[in-house]
Amino acid sequence: MSKSPRPSPRDLLGEALAGLAQRPARSVLTMLGTVLGTGAFVAILGLTATAAGQIDQRFTALAATEVTVEDIGGADPADTAASFPADAAARIAGLNGVRHAGVYWPVSPSAPRFAATPGAPANQEELAFVAAEPSALAAARPTLRAGRLYDRFHADRGDNVAVLGAAAADRLGITRLDGHPAVFVNDTPYTVLGIIDDVQRMPDLLLSVIIPTGTALRAYQPPHEQRAKMLIETRLGAAALVASQAALALRPDAPERFKVTAPPDPQSLRADVTSDLNSLFLLLAGISLVIGAVGIANTSLVAVLERTNEIGLRRCLGARPVHIATQFLTESTALGLLGGLVGGSVAVAAVVGTAVLRDWTAVLAPWTVAAAPAIGAGVGLVAGVYPALRAAWIEPAAALRR
Amino acid sequence: MTPVISFTGVGLTYPGPPPVRALRDASVTVQPGEYVTVVGPSGSGKSTFLNVAGLLDRPTEGVYELDGVDVSRLRERQRAALRGQRIGFVFQSFHLLQYRTTTENVALARLYAGVPRRQRAMTAVEALDRVGLAHRRDALPLVLSGGERQRVAIARALAQRPSLLLCDEPTGNLDSATAENLLELLDNLCADGLTLVVITHDPQVAARGQRTLTIRDGVLHE
């Protein structure tokens, strides 16, 4: 007789679920807090991951391999000398990890007039006039619509050649190169070697008439009002290194004359975006989880008091306190679990819906989705402890009182 | 023959302040198959007697043997097991789970004894047949009459296959015609060999028993 019987766990689970199913409306309302809490949790993590993924997409290899060096001049504002040495491109090209590097600057003759024929009226006032080293053009990663780019040869000789951006060519009315057209800048002809259809960097080149730096230096003033810049294309991952070395490599005597812009570190960028919002909303999610827990605890306690008779009856039928506690604990845990499932599902739908509306790619870490029911169940379990203990403490004789 | 209930100088004093001696020096035996009724005015100690006999309360003095086992020394889990296996309770207010069918209610009796679900359902159906409710197997308690509900409660007690059926005012919530029906059922169960202890304040109910114990101010008399 000393052996105590053991009800099967499946039967105890059945009893607990039957307890929940008895009052579906109340169960649903009790779940609400947990639904909101876990839903908020998953939605926040999902949305921030999605947004961060979006940033990652924009943060392409293109941006990660671009370094720009600006000539900011010396401390003395009257010092208008160009900071870039004549062999700037060669100096930078010697650095490890550099693919293309070239200087460019806006050429500023007084009131440039552009025309496709000599003596034509000035009607293209919006075009820019840019001097760029061939390697600067290469670093901009152009695709050509027609012809070719000028090269070192043209630059060294100072030939009067030009490359047109697609928009500039359209405005000038130059569409074909088989007649060797020229563009006239203040009536100085430049033979058009090529038309750039598109660039991946420096999109303002598309609206520009571009000539070699050698040509520009021969015909015009060196840059001083608008100072020269250098565009460097690095190998993937070398940008930070190149950026740290560029100024010294250009002018070991005066590295402070340059401002080097390196791409931001993608990891810190992502962290910046996510961390601020994340912590705030996760706090809110935490608060709603606590509210959910209080709701479950409250309802369970009321249910225990209401079901005193039932508990006494079960004790009379041979239930031990642990069976009673298990039943109520299972009920509250199941409530929390259900709440977590519903909340997680709603949140996944919300994240996917947002992504679809915004044309984003939904990014959801599987563990965040899987965590929702687990968190819900945990909340239910914790919330159910006190009511379950109260239930277990009820004396079986209570059932006999009417 | 081993008596079902054997009280030897059993007493229960609820700790105060002030201490209440709800049951004093009770010595009584109930033999298998006996039909014993316990009467007394309210507050006399009937409930205490029931709680002690039903293993819901431990006596503070004396020895209580149930089926020859000294239960005052048993640990709580063993008392719970005995309660579920040896004693069938019938309450004045039925205590049915109102969202469960009669069969489920009756099947609950064997749940904590670890009996598999299917077997419990079979036992429940048999017990319902025995109390004449074969046609009410799938009904919810809400649609049953008071007499039918008490029969379900008795079926639940029977499903435990108890040595002792402990009834607390079983007819207290029933009208007299229904009560008569129910008492006939109890008579029949007794005739089948079941041991019955019925606690009541109704002299007519008390008269049905083979023996009547009177309790007054915590003191039990034959």
Other C-beta atoms closer than 10 Å to the C-beta of A254 total: 13
What distance in Å separates the CA atoms of residue A71 and residue A260, rounded to the nearest whole number? 9
- Our CA-based measurement puts residue B221 at a distance from the nearest CA of chain A, in whole angstroms, of 23
Which chain A residues touch B112 with a CB distance below 8 Å? 5, 7, 314, 317-320, 323
What is the reported pLDDT for A283?
83
B112·A317 Cβ contact <8 A: yes
Which chain A residues touch B114 with a CB distance below 8 Å? 5-8
Is the pLDDT at A124 greater than 60? The verdict is: no
Quick: pLDDT tens for A150-164.
Answer: 988 888 888 889 999
Quick: pLDDT tens for A158-203.
Answer: 888 999 998 888 888 888 888 888 888 888 889 999 999 988 888 8
* pLDDT bucket at A1, cuts 50 / 70 / 90: very low
What distance in Å separates the CA atoms of residue A36 and residue A19, rounded to the nearest whole number? 23
Which chain B residues touch A399 with a CB distance below 8 Å? 89, 91, 95
* pLDDT bucket at A385, cuts 50 / 70 / 90: very high
Write the CATH number of the domain with boundaries B5-221. 3.40.50.300
Exposure string for B124-149, b = 16+ CB within 10 A, e = fewer: bbebbebbebeebbeebbeebeebbb
State the burial class of residue A236 (Cβ atoms within 10 Å of its Cβ: 0-12, 13-18, 19+): exposed
Q: Give me the torsion for CA of A118, A121, A123, A128, rounded to 10°.
A: 40
Which of B50, B56, B150, B199 to mutate to probe the A interface, most A CBs <10 Å? Answer: B56
Put simply, the chain B residues between 155 and 194 with a CB less than 8 A from any chain A CB are 156, 160, 168
Which chain B residues touch A4 with a CB distance below 8 Å? 77-78, 80-81
| Interface size, chain A vs chain B, as Cβ–Cβ contacts under 8 Å | 98
Q: What is the DSSP letter of A301?
A: H
What distance in Å separates the CA atoms of residue B18 and residue B20, rounded to the nearest whole number? 6
HSE of A64, CA atoms in CB hemisphere, 13 A: 15
Any A CB within 8 A of B85 CB: yes
Is the pLDDT at A110 greater than 70? The verdict is: no
Q: Where are the alpha helices (DSSP H) in A65-146?
A: 88-93, 134-139
Is the pLDDT at B195 greater than 90? The verdict is: yes
Any A CB within 8 A of B140 CB: no
Any A CB within 8 A of B118 CB: no
What distance in Å separates the CA atoms of residue B162 and residue B63, rounded to the nearest whole number? 21
When the pLDDT of each residue in chain A is averaged and rounded to a whole number, the result is 84
**Nearest C-alpha in A relative to B109:** A317
What is the reported pLDDT for A273?
59
A8·B114 Cβ contact <8 A: yes
Average pLDDT over residues A28-55: 83
Question: ipTM of this model?
Answer: 0.92
Token pair listed for A295: 């709701």
Is the pLDDT at A307 greater than 90? The verdict is: no
Q: List, in order, residues 6 or more apart from A93 with CB less than 8 Å away.
A: A100, A101, A135
Q: Is the peptide bond before A255 cis (omega within 30 degrees of 0)?
A: no
The continuous run of DSSP H or E covering A213 comes out as: helix A213-219
What distance in Å separates the CA atoms of residue A47 and residue A34, rounded to the nearest whole number? 19
Token pair listed for B11: 């007493």
What distance in Å separates the CA atoms of residue A44 and residue A50, rounded to the nearest whole number? 10
- Our CA-based measurement puts residue A377 at a distance from the nearest CA of chain B, in whole angstroms, of 25
What distance in Å separates the CA atoms of residue B133 and residue B106, rounded to the nearest whole number? 12
* Contact in structure between A158 and A179 (CB atoms under 8 Å): no
Any B CB within 8 A of A25 CB: no
Which chain B residues touch A17 with a CB distance below 8 Å? none
Token pair listed for A314: 């079960």
